[in-house]
Amino acid sequence: MTALGLIDRGAIEATFFAAAVLFVLGLDDVLLDLIAVAVRRADQHVPTVASVRHLRFAVFIPAWREEQVIGAMLRATLARYDHPAYRLYIGCYPNDPATADAVRTIDDPRVRLVVGDHDGPTTKADCLNQLWQALTAEAESRPHAVVLHDAEDMVHPLELRVTEQALRGAALVQLPVLPLIDPARRWLTGHYADEFAETHARDLVARAALGAALPLAGVGCAIRYDALERLAGATGLPFAADSLTEDYELGLRAASLGMAVRFVRRRDAGGGLIATRAYFPDTLTHAVRQKARWIGGIALAGWDRTGWGAPRATERWMRWRDRRAPLAATAVATGYLAATLAAVGLLGHHWRGDPPTATGHGLRALLAINAILLGWRLIARARLTAAAYGWREGLRALPRIAVANAVLMLSAGRALRLHVAALRGAPPRWDKTAHRFPDLP
């Protein structure tokens, strides 16, 4: 077979593999879209003043080298929370004095600095466990629930009021997350907005309706104190210190123990979604590092750490969706390879003056169906982004799918390398990215 023949054959084989996988993934998304549309209800509004007895909250904020943002975040949180009973616990490390000093500049009795007993970075879960130990040592001020946030989060004023209402019928509660779009880095930061608009307006809504376990997002989530005690078990530590995605695992572990986990969407009097807002990574390097941690912890390590859950079809379907990112990345990369090979083949045949290799009827039909599924996917994503950010961002979500694909492929490769290193004994490390806090008026 000639070199050009090998290129033609490679293009056909790569196209078939990518098309077959993307067909399955496309049907997977369409089915979830239909379920979400069928069960979705309009977001409810909450009153500005709640008439229920207030719960006491401890807000955990793990921090490693966050001196640039932690001070602004704490001041904004103290000013924004519309709730009378909460305290902020900030976890720092002995070898990170700059972050601890920034916390000490906040002169407020509701702020509690906790410096761990070993140097960082360890893992975010390990830092959360240090905060849990500090909290349990203060028996006289035991809260009703613990809220998790990151050092770059901008909280909604009504977050704790909505949370305390939801916790009366659940052990764990997750509120939506809305990534902020930086106009200077609209394409990279915007792809996070597109993905979270899908996850927190479609995926979790459908997941809850199906009765599947709900993972936590690590921010804007609350866990009752007694639920954390139960999750801590014999070790006394509720967070899996050897995990890079302890938030995801926490929701699944709680569901396996029969605890109720709720996803709550509410709006304030002005119509704004009660959600956590934050800037996500605005450079390709940092975006890849962050998503590699998510893929490695959920899709790769998750096979061993969390298994497939209850033997219900809906539960296993959701676990499959959680772990399909490496397969999706492989299919997308193969699709780009197929397109490249096909283009080279066309040029080669044009140079030789003979017709290109014909594509079989079955493959042409599969490609036509995938084109329809892609159109559906783009319209669905644009609609959800537009609902959260306006129609202009909804339109931008269409070309931003290329950015999301690039980040996915690079992240999957990095996640695989890190996972192999972990299998060989490398300890998990807090592979965090640089953060920024919104400029508030």
* CA 390 vs CA 43, 181, 332, 375, 384: distances in Å: 17, 12, 28, 20, 9
Per-residue pLDDT tens, the chain, 441 aa: give them: 688 778 888 889 999 999 999 999 999 999 999 999 888 776 766 654 444 578 999 999 999 999 999 999 999 999 999 999 999 999 999 999 999 999 999 999 999 999 998 898 888 999 999 999 999 998 777 999 999 999 999 999 999 999 999 999 999 999 999 999 999 999 999 999 999 999 999 999 999 999 999 999 999 999 999 999 999 988 999 999 888 888 999 999 999 999 999 999 999 998 999 999 999 999 999 999 999 999 998 998 887 788 877 778 999 999 999 999 999 999 999 999 999 988 888 888 878 778 777 778 889 999 999 999 999 999 999 999 999 999 999 999 999 999 999 999 999 999 999 888 888 878 777 777 778 888 765
Per-residue pLDDT, 61: 98
- Give all strands of the β-sheet with 111-115 in edge-to-edge order: 111-115, 86-92, 57-62, 145-148, 221-224, 172-174, 261-263
Two structure tokens written together for 284: 């390709």
* CA 157 vs CA 169, 267, 296: distances in Å: 22, 11, 34
The answer to whether the beta carbons of residues 369 and 38 sit under 8 Å apart is: no
Q: Where are the domains of the chain?
A: 3-38+322-423, 44-314
The answer to whether the beta carbons of residues 402 and 332 sit under 8 Å apart is: no
The one-character DSSP state at 397 is T
* CA 91 vs CA 71, 115, 127, 349, 399: distances in Å: 13, 6, 6, 64, 40
Listing DSSP states for 209-258 in one string gives HHT------SSSEEEEHHHHHHHHGGGT--S-TT-S-HHHHHHHHHHHTT
Which architecture characterizes domain 44-314 according to CATH?
A: Alpha-Beta Complex (3.90)
The answer to whether the beta carbons of residues 131 and 91 sit under 8 Å apart is: yes
Distance (Å, rounded) from C-alpha 356 to C-alpha 221?
Answer: 56
Question: Is the model's pTM score more than 0.85?
Answer: yes
